[in-house]
A and B are shown apart, each in its own frame.
Chain A
């Protein structure tokens, strides 16, 4: 039962990503894939907050699984980011691909740390 609930939370996360992705792509017309980047930034920040809350035992494990493994797992995406890098490189935008790669490696770490700090504020 919890397995099904977690999976459906993942489906909700995917729908949320679809809505946000389409909305951002409607006004963003540059080459940088901003929509996936913003989605991953939001997801990793929320994951940091959730991890801090779980570590300080504010929320039980079931809630943590539902939110992080389910919703945020479906919301954030690794495959789309990687494939955007590959397609940028295949279209000979090597500088942009490298820039996006570095941003996708570094920024999530910063975001998850910030989220952890925000989540630990009350302690």
Chain B
């Protein structure tokens, strides 16, 4: 009986048994060794069969073609539709005739949407990767790319220059690019702010869910602290039914080792600590349980 108490008190405090995030990360991402640790590691080409698989090659992904085509169709329809709604140029003649309103509007809107979308999707880890890729290709590359245009801008420039309105042409070009840069910067900042907002909400929801005790899975890298009330209640905790070290032949008393050879009497008189409860270790091993009927291991 005293052995079991000694064993309990000799066990380290539960706080020292926590698996830190850094420890898990260091073990899960080992340092490169051998040839891979060289300053210029050897390049291994992709196997030929993998070059035609959609996982490794976007050009072999039929879904991307469809999404880009639909996005490009929508973007072009929007740009062509704008040319009916808006006046073709800002002025009938002269300086303002160089400003082509539909092209300008389409370019600015596309810049804003593209910047906002790409910066948001780059942070949106709560969306599935495939969904993010398809959205980025479809709306970003397809729709925004089809909506904005540089060839129409260049033709408008050329016709304006042929009409010898050089100041208007230069101004239109510079305003397009400078305002586009500003709009894209604002869009990128807005997308990042929205993503940060959403990230905070997701984190708060996860913490709240954990506090209510509805969580079932423990991911690697999470620090697991089991409340002591739970440890007291469980009868089958390892501390309450230990194998006494003195029962085994040839094994010295564990308590006397930890207390550096001194007698275990002071430890016995010490107040009985609540049984420290160590959480199940997080390992990569998957327990294999054989199915007796089929023979498969699950």
Interface of A is mostly: helix
Question: Taking the nearest CB of chain A, how far is it from the CB of B249, in angstroms?
Answer: 66
Within 8 A of B (CB), among A41-92: 43-44, 46-48, 51, 68-70, 72-83, 85-87, 90
Whole-angstrom CA separation of A14 from B81 in the bound complex: 18
How many residues does chain A have at the interface if contact means C-beta atoms less than 8 Å apart? 53
As a 0/1 sequence over residues 117 to 160 of chain B, the CB contacts with chain A under 8 angstroms (1 = contact) are: 01000000000000000000100011011111111111101110
Q: Does B76 contact A (CB under 8 A)?
A: yes
User: Do B158 and A113 have beta carbons less than 8 Å apart?
Assistant: yes
User: Do A68 and B155 have beta carbons less than 8 Å apart?
Assistant: yes
Whole-angstrom CA separation of A121 from B146 in the bound complex: 30
User: Do A82 and B146 have beta carbons less than 8 Å apart?
Assistant: no
User: Do B184 and A86 have beta carbons less than 8 Å apart?
Assistant: yes
A residues sitting closer than 8 Å to B (CB atoms) are 3-4, 6-15, 17-19, 21-23, 40, 43-44, 46-48, 51, 68-70, 72-83, 85-87, 90, 101, 104-105, 108-109, 111-113, 116
The one of B70, B76, B148, B185 in contact with A9, judged by C-beta atoms closer than 8 angstroms, is B76
B residues sitting closer than 8 Å to A (CB atoms) are 58-59, 64-65, 68-77, 79-81, 83, 107, 110-111, 113-115, 118, 137, 141-142, 144-155, 157-159, 173-174, 176-177, 180-181, 184-185, 188
Given A17-B141, A74-B146, are A44 and B151 neighbors across the interface (CB < 8 Å)? yes
The one of A43, A69, A81 in contact with B80, judged by C-beta atoms closer than 8 angstroms, is A69
Interface of B is mostly: helix
Which residue on chain B has the smallest CB distance to residue A40? B150
The one of A18, A82, A83 in contact with B137, judged by C-beta atoms closer than 8 angstroms, is A18
Query: Which chain A residues border B152 with CB–CB below 8 Å?
Result: 47, 68-69, 72-73, 76
Whole-angstrom CA separation of A17 from B151 in the bound complex: 13
Whole-angstrom CA separation of A101 from B64 in the bound complex: 29
User: Do A78 and B154 have beta carbons less than 8 Å apart?
Assistant: no
Query: Which chain B residues border A12 with CB–CB below 8 Å?
Result: 69, 72
User: Do A48 and B145 have beta carbons less than 8 Å apart?
Assistant: no
Question: Taking the nearest CB of chain A, how far is it from the CB of B134, in angstroms?
Answer: 13
The one of B76, B114, B151 in contact with A80, judged by C-beta atoms closer than 8 angstroms, is B114
Extra contacts, 12 of them, besides A14-B71, A17-B141 (Cβ < 8 A), are: A7-B74, A12-B72, A13-B146, A14-B73, A43-B150, A51-B158, A78-B149, A78-B176, A79-B107, A80-B148, A87-B188, A108-B150
Query: Which chain A residues border B71 with CB–CB below 8 Å?
Result: 11, 14
Whole-angstrom CA separation of A17 from B206 in the bound complex: 41
Ordered by A's residue number, 29 sampled pairs between the chains whose C-beta atoms are within 8 Å are A3-B80, A3-B81, A10-B75, A11-B142, A13-B72, A14-B141, A14-B145, A15-B65, A15-B72, A18-B64, A18-B141, A40-B151, A44-B151, A46-B151, A48-B154, A51-B155, A73-B79, A74-B145, A74-B146, A77-B148, A78-B150, A78-B176, A79-B115, A80-B144, A82-B180, A83-B188, A105-B173, A108-B153, A112-B154
